[in-house]
A and B are shown apart, each in its own frame.
Chain A
Amino acid sequence: MMRTSTDRAASGVMSTGWILLGLLALLLGLVVMNLLWGARMLSPVWLMHMFEPPGDRHELLVLQARAPRVLAGVLAGMALAVAGTVIQALCRNPLADPGLLGVNAGASASLVTLSLLPFASEWGVFWQALPGALLASAFVYALSQVQSALGQAQAPVRLILAGAAISAVLGAYVQARVLLNPQLFDGFRYWMAGSLSGLGWSEVNALWPYLVPAGLMLVLLAPGLNLLLLDRSTAVSLGMSLQRHTILAWLSATLLCAAATSVVGPLAFVGLAAGHLARAWLPMSFRVLLPGAALAGGILVLSADLLARVLLPPRELLTGIMIALLGAPFLYSAARTAGEYKAS
């Protein structure tokens, strides 16, 4: 690791910029591919007319129906990736991921509970998902704090297993609710697996008002998060209020997860993989890591969605399934070489 970190220092700011630019270009390319490809392939010419009223040109209709889906996918992927990266740093755990830690399962559980209660059925999906996500993440946070207080920070696997336990319990609860209410089953069958299909502008509008403030908050917190990567006592002696930073960062990450989950369903692995890739490619500073991870998350979700739509036409696989099929082997190989969170 020493070698790579000196390499990074030598190659300096330029290579970081190039990597971010490359990621951005890849993301934009995928956006275009997602707009044009699918059960019906469109010619790039139509992109020129993207913002015109469609009239009776059905190609334009298809294109304009795909646009919100792509946008929601990018936003959700970015949110989950940023949340994953932040949670990985806060837990000092390279394997942390909102999906694996049970935060997404908490959101699903409170969604299926509150959507059937009379007083809460009028709330938006986001507000129905938020309490569960907050509870689950508070639980995980408490667990990780106790863990580091007892000096077991070097056992990253235990936290993941605790998350697996939480996910399993909440998953069973969701399953029980869904099995007992056939009408609920109908609506949630696709949402439960994580799906981008059928997303429209209303979903995009439900997503960004929560993502933008939470993302901005994390950007503002980035210098503090950098200090958090150091030894705790060093961070305190450098004049940082540890508690406030940690809690604010954790809250923002949870908000990101809840918003993304309420719209696209519980997607696992995006945070894990994006955080991992960002740390492998970029210098260990959150001012660079967060945008890098966000781009990687958008790329992951869009490529999974693209695969899901073009693999078995005219059928469409669910994006969440595709992501799990791609992400699980990633966790498998990471597990074979599981190490500690590298803060250098």
Chain B
Amino acid sequence: MMAPRFPLWRLGTLTLLAPNRAAVLTAVLGTALVMAAMLLSVTLGEPGLSLSGLVQVLGGEASPYDHWLLWQSRLPRALCALGVGVALGVSGAVFQSLSRNPLGSPDIIGVNTGASAGTLLWLMFLPAWPMFWGGLLGAVAVLVLLLPGLERSGRLSRNLVLMGVAINAFALALVQFVLTLVQREQAQQMLGYLSGSLAHKDWQQVALIGMTLAMALPGLLLLSRRLTLLTLGGEMAQGVGAGVRQTRLVALLLATVLALGAVLCAGPVAFVALVAPHLARWGSHSPALLRSGLIGALLLLGADTVTLMLPGVHRLPVGVLTALLGGSYLAWILFAGLFRSRSQARAGL
């Protein structure tokens, strides 16, 4: 926030998109890192596509199998990981800054679980209709249940997250309800989807997550300065002139759309939305939406590459890996938070 701005970039609201040197640096570095991670994700793992094979495919002189492998299997998968990672990272940053609680990310307060419960119930009872609507209904229902927690400015952060934990448990019970009603094979398939998986992605899913990002990301970036103000607290933000309620509602809606898109594309991948904003906040206090999105993409690409490289016949869904890593990280910050000074602990975790 305090770094000197590029005078050239100050074009009204667009200053927010490229406000300062640090942001430009982040963008350049982040793009380079994401490109490198994509390259790794496409070339590493089984079944493999070597670097020279990749060059051959791009030159148009490879075997049809390699061609298929890149264009129909690995590239859509990597792009899905990229899009879902960005969506989760940004959505997590918005939820955390709105709830003023580092734990208030969509995967803990039930948005992801709600969307997947909606999807599964829809699949059970209305299989003829696109399951998108089920996910939307589920996510919106969770949002409506969370709204009473947002209105009370005083005790907002604590109870919002706890209410979310309750909603999450309820949605999880619904998911388990569906799981026990279907056949064994279908249940195991659903369980794979429910832990968040990037296997078998095609261009349709890439288009889905791309459209989601196109819908929600620009609006959130335009709102990002107001969101920074909101982290100061509702009263403070109102004093500076930010429309607190409208900003909160619009930002919540857009962040929910992002989380929903991610769930529809890859299932509820756990903890990326929680961890990415934490890492993005490292060294600064602002929510840094874009940075959080980039880190989310890097995390998911990395985790997915690791699952591709793990040996074994049964491939682990990427969500299991992110849950193990992210959950351990969460346990660590909870312990670390305890040993911080009391005033900080009261303000933060």
Decide if B13 is an interface residue (CB 8 Å cutoff).
no
Q: Contact flags (1/0) for A90-118 with B, using CB distance below 8 Å?
A: 00000100001000000000000000000
Closest chain-A Cβ to B327's Cβ sits at a distance in Å of 3
CB within 8 Å for A336 and B163 given contacts A172-B324, A186-B184, A328-B173: yes
The main secondary structure of chain B at its interface with chain A is: helix
Closest chain-B Cβ to A333's Cβ sits at a distance in Å of 8
Decide if B14 is an interface residue (CB 8 Å cutoff).
no
CB-CB nearest 4 A-B residue pairs? A169-B327, A172-B323, A324-B173, A328-B170
Decide if A246 is an interface residue (CB 8 Å cutoff).
no
* Contacts A164-B108, A185-B188 supplied; 16 other A-B pairs, CB < 8 Å: A143-B335, A151-B342, A152-B345, A157-B159, A158-B349, A161-B108, A162-B334, A165-B327, A165-B334, A172-B319, A175-B320, A178-B191, A180-B314, A189-B187, A318-B180, A336-B149
Residue of A nearest to B319 (CB): A172
Decide if B338 is an interface residue (CB 8 Å cutoff).
yes
Decide if B192 is an interface residue (CB 8 Å cutoff).
yes
Residues of B within 8 A of A (CB): 103, 108, 145, 148-149, 158-159, 161-163, 165-167, 169-170, 172-174, 176-177, 179-181, 184, 187-188, 191-192, 195, 270-271, 312, 314, 316-317, 319-320, 323-324, 327-328, 330-331, 334-335, 337-339, 342, 345-346, 349
Asked whether, in the complex, the Cβ of A172 is within 8 Å of the Cβ of B334, the reply is no
Decide if A212 is an interface residue (CB 8 Å cutoff).
no
Asked whether, in the complex, the Cβ of B334 is within 8 Å of the Cβ of A158, the reply is yes
CB < 8 Å neighbour of B188 from A176, A182, A331: A182
Decide if A325 is an interface residue (CB 8 Å cutoff).
yes
Chain A residue contacts of B349, Cβ below 8 A = 158
Residues of A within 8 A of B (CB): 95, 100, 143, 146-147, 150-152, 155, 157-158, 160-162, 164-166, 168-169, 171-173, 175-176, 178-180, 182, 185-186, 189-190, 192-193, 268-269, 315, 317-318, 320-321, 324-325, 327-332, 335-336, 338
Chain B residue contacts of A332, Cβ below 8 A = 145, 163, 166-167, 170
Q: How far is the CA of A329 from the CA of B171 in the complex (A)?
A: 11
Chain B residue contacts of A168, Cβ below 8 A = 270-271, 323, 327, 330
The main secondary structure of chain A at its interface with chain B is: helix
Asked whether, in the complex, the Cβ of A176 is within 8 Å of the Cβ of B324, the reply is yes
Chain A residue contacts of B270, Cβ below 8 A = 168, 172
Closest chain-B Cβ to A120's Cβ sits at a distance in Å of 22
Asked whether, in the complex, the Cβ of A331 is within 8 Å of the Cβ of B169, the reply is yes
CB < 8 Å neighbour of B324 from A173, A315, A330: A173
CB within 8 Å for A318 and B177 given contacts A325-B170, A329-B166, A331-B165: yes
Asked whether, in the complex, the Cβ of A157 is within 8 Å of the Cβ of B158, the reply is yes
CB < 8 Å neighbour of B316 from A151, A179, A186, A336: A179
CB within 8 Å for A165 and B158 given contacts A160-B165, A179-B316, A331-B169: no
Residue of A nearest to B107 (CB): A168
Asked whether, in the complex, the Cβ of A161 is within 8 Å of the Cβ of B316, the reply is no
Residue of B nearest to A154 (CB): B346
Q: How far is the CA of A166 from the CA of B323 in the complex (A)?
A: 11
